[in-house]
Amino acid sequence: MTDGPQEPKEISPSDRFKALITNAESATYGLKDNLLAVMTRDGSATWQTVAAHIEAQLPGAGEFATARLNAILALVRTLSNRQASVSE
């Protein structure tokens, strides 16, 4: 228990923007964009080729791009693991 009222934590504009670009909806759109990019380039795509495409964008990415790419990678890994467990 705490004594007295707690002050709400201030969220920086930077953290607020990161939360916006890493939410589930944004990650889903990002995944779709990267999936289409790989399919256009290669003619087909797998979870591994999409993950490799996203990982290739990480070097040199800025703070916000890195946060968004990592959110998209997390979604790819979640979906990939879900598909693998259904196949077994």
The string of DSSP letters for 19-79 reads: HHHTSHHHHHHHHHHHHHHHHHHHSS--HHHHHHHHHHH-TT--HHHHHHHHHHHHHHHHH
**Does residue 55 sit within a domain?**
yes
The arithmetic mean of pLDDT across residues 66-74, rounded, is 97
Residue 1 maps to a domain? no
Confidence of residue 84 (pLDDT cuts 50, 70, 90): confident
Assigned domain for 43 exists: yes
Mean of the per-residue pLDDT values of the chain? 90
pLDDT at position 36: 96
Structural domain containing residue 53: 13-87
In a domain, residue 6? The reply is no
Judge whether residue 4 has pLDDT over 90. no
Residue at 27 is within a domain: yes
Question: Is 70 part of any domain?
Answer: yes
Total structural domains within the chain: 1
Does the residue 3 lie in any domain?
no
| Model pLDDT, residue 15 | 93
pTM of the model: 0.80
